[in-house]
Chains A and B, each alone.
Chain A
């Protein structure tokens, strides 16, 4: 089966005051219909840039797609016209953002905003679109949806606003739904509701979901497959259970064991020392080397490739040499 969305060797570069830096380097990912791909990593690792590239929303300048391809059902999104991209956005590709307050327009009611999104892509009148919007609000679990549709964003709570965003995103039944840290701004009980909702929506609509998060717990609950990113590269990719139970790359191992889990206390957390290096200071070697306990001369001289040398693909010299 060929994948619904296929990112192949994507390279994205940004012009900064430090010169041109590579924000994404040979990123290859695939997502199938009805599947959730979790993309995980610390801030600055390239997760959000990947999402924006797929949506064709890389701010340009300063950014540009410098190589590779993004294929949606065979169509290369890096080569289509802006008009075609606009038609795809919202209809085939939709995105949910971290901060639902700033992604909704404060001067229109939420019902009108959803109706507007529907009318952009479907030939229906406003009355019909508004009725559809109310049905969608009902679908995403908003109580008394016909009244809520006439509310303005500021009259809703954070959780409800995120539900509105989801309703708007799925209004045209997109084939790919990108959720960029959709629950980071929400309380934990509300986060659980949103996760459950996203899983339900996926069952109903069969959309492929790309979930961008820094939270391994969210990955565990939501993802079928996981890609771990670090400094603009995918460093490990496999089924969620494989990554969570048998992490290969030292960074993935660190990410999993540094979480203070509910099941234990008092033991010292494993630390990953240091911070993610700034992109303009990446050298020829492995970007993780300066934080890694398994570093040797080879790690400093060449970037490891994402290949399978054991359980599943990981970009690490130490794994590939059988040192860990």
Chain B
């Protein structure tokens, strides 16, 4: 299978406001040397909690956030080296679905215009062809063509997410970045959108970079999963390997924290792995392992030496004491 996207050592920094009048401007590293590959037709899930840098990493990949260093090789070409005009041309191949179906659609535009706009901008097809394509896309995502002239506020959350998907598919992209696409939706509606995304992936041969905090959703959609913590990937594996044999204590904690129908109050469940505290702030990350402060296995070496991603079975894990 061919590699569609090869991200190498991607780093994103934000400069924070000056502290005091002449104080230094602290630099926050939201994404720290993240590397991953995505093969054509597959879905890579990036899982993490707030502040893990998962969304920033994905946005930097498609240059909606400026990266400080690293490479993003997309179909053999480094996106970070392209000039603005060339990048605008490339955008037809990399599209995006957002989390919030309420703020991701321009409230003052009719939905047909929202879905057609990418073709207008990139001057694809004649006006008739564009109109026909919009109608086709509407059917493809499960909406009715007689809804084309409505405004976004006239749709429910799930329907808006379908419109967002239709807009993303307009230019026949190869890569779709999905940023928490179902976390704002009710569970019953979540299932509708997840099934739609699975069907589109199979039918159109799309590749997904799928950002989520919900392990169940990721397990359902993704072929491979990367777990991020404080700007770094701490574990990466094919789906089954990650869920069945998690190696990093953080992955294990995430799995045992996720609510599950298998754990019943009546049977007095005990969480296999418990961690305390909140995800730390990325402003002053620990020197050694990022997870050290919450890790049940932390030793002295974890405070001093940053662990690197190493292979362990099918998994790649950054931990001094994996397993």
Interface residues of chain A, those whose CB is within 8 Å of chain B, are 36, 42-43, 141, 157-160, 187-193, 195-196, 199, 214-218, 220-224, 239-241, 244, 254-256, 258-266, 268-273, 275-276
Segment from B15-23, B106-114, B262-270 that makes contact with A: B262-270
Check if A272 sits within 8 Å of B191, measured CB to CB: yes
Q: Give the distance in Å from the alpha carbon of A149 to the alpha carbon of B38 in the complex.
A: 48
Least CB distance, B90 to chain A, in whole angstroms = 31
A159 contacts B278, CB within 8 Å?
yes
Inter-subunit contact A262/B257 (CB<8 Å): no
Q: Is the CB of B265 within 8 A of A221?
A: yes
Do A189 and B257 touch across chains, with their CB atoms under 8 A apart? Answer: yes
Listed A/B pairs (29) with beta-carbon separation below 8 Å: A42-B188, A42-B189, A157-B278, A187-B213, A188-B213, A192-B256, A192-B257, A195-B259, A196-B274, A217-B260, A220-B261, A221-B259, A221-B264, A221-B265, A258-B188, A259-B187, A259-B191, A259-B261, A260-B194, A261-B261, A262-B243, A265-B220, A265-B239, A268-B195, A268-B198, A271-B188, A271-B192, A275-B156, A275-B189
Contact between B257 and A188 (Cβ–Cβ < 8 Å)?
yes
Chain A positions within 8 Å of B189 at CB level: 42, 275
B158/A275 in contact, CB under 8 A: yes
Tell me if B254 and A188 are in contact (CB < 8 A): yes
CB distance from B220 to the nearest CB of A (A): 4
The 7 closest A-B pairs by CB, nearest first: A217-B259, A192-B257, A258-B191, A260-B220, A187-B49, A272-B188, A269-B191
Q: Is B216 a contact of A261 with CB atoms below 8 Å?
A: yes
Residues of B within 8 A of A218 (CB): 259
Give Cα distance in the complex from A193 to B243, angstroms.
21
The number of A-B residue pairs with CB atoms under 8 Å apart is 143
**Contact in complex: A36, B188 (CB < 8 Å):** no
Which of A189, A255, A261, A272 has the most chain B CB within a 10 Å cutoff?
A189
Closest residue on chain B to residue A40 by CB atoms: B187
B122 close to chain A: CB less than 8 A? no
Given A42-B187, A258-B187, A272-B188, do A36 and B265 touch, yes or no (CB 8 Å)?
A: yes
Q: CA separation between A269 and B255, bound complex, in Å?
A: 20
A265 CA to B238 CA in the complex, in Å?
12
* B217 located at the interface, meaning its Cβ lies under 8 Å from any Cβ of chain A in the complex: yes
Q: How many residues of B contact A (CB 8 A)?
A: 47
Smallest Cβ distance from B276 to chain A, in angstroms? 7
Residues of B within 8 A of A192 (CB): 256-259, 271, 274
- Interface check B4, CB cutoff 8 A: no
The complex places the Cα of A218 from the Cα of B264 at a distance, in Å, of 10
Q: Which residue of A lies closest to B216 (CB)?
A: A260
Q: Which of B173-195 contact A (CB under 8 A)?
A: 186-192, 194-195
Instruction: Tell me, yes or no, whether B50 is within 8 Å of chain A by CB.
Output: yes
Residue in A141, A160, A190 whose Cβ sees the most chain B Cβ within 10 Å: A190
Question: Which residues of A have CB within 8 Å of B259?
Answer: 191-192, 195, 215, 217-218, 220-221
A263-B192 contact in complex given A189-B279, A192-B274, A255-B187, C-beta closer than 8 Å: no
Residue of B191, B192, B256 with highest tally of chain A CB at under 10 A: B191
Residues of A within 8 A of B131 (CB): none
Contact B192 A244 (CB under 8 A): no
Question: Could you tell me which residues of chain B, from 86 to 145, have a CB within 8 Å of some CB in chain A?
Answer: none
Task: Tell me the bound Cα distance from A192 to B255 in angstroms.
Answer: 11
B160 CB, min distance to chain A CBs, angstroms: 11
Q: How far is the CB of B290 from chain A (nearest CB, A)?
A: 14
Query: Which residues in window 210-238 of B have CB below 8 A to A?
Result: 213-217, 219-221
Which chain B residue lies CB-closest to A215? B259
With the chains together, A42 CA to B156 CA distance in Å?
Answer: 13
| Most-contacted residue by chain B among A158, A188, A192 (CB, 10 A) | A188
Pairwise interchain contact A193-B276, C-beta atoms closer than 8 A: yes
B73 within 8 A of A: no
Contact of A42 with B191 in the complex, beta carbons under 8 Å: no
B309 within 8 A of A: no
A36 contacts across to B, CB distance below 8 A = 265
Bound Cα distance from A36 to B264, whole angstroms: 13
Given contacts A188-B254, A196-B274, A266-B220, list 18 more A-B pairs with CB under 8 A. Answer: A42-B188, A43-B186, A187-B279, A189-B253, A192-B256, A216-B187, A217-B260, A221-B265, A239-B266, A258-B190, A259-B216, A259-B261, A265-B243, A268-B195, A268-B198, A272-B191, A272-B192, A273-B192
> How near does chain A come to B222, taking the closest CB pair, in angstroms?
8
- The answer on a CB contact under 8 Å between A223 and B158 is no
Q: How many whole Å from B91's CB to the nearest CB in chain A?
A: 30
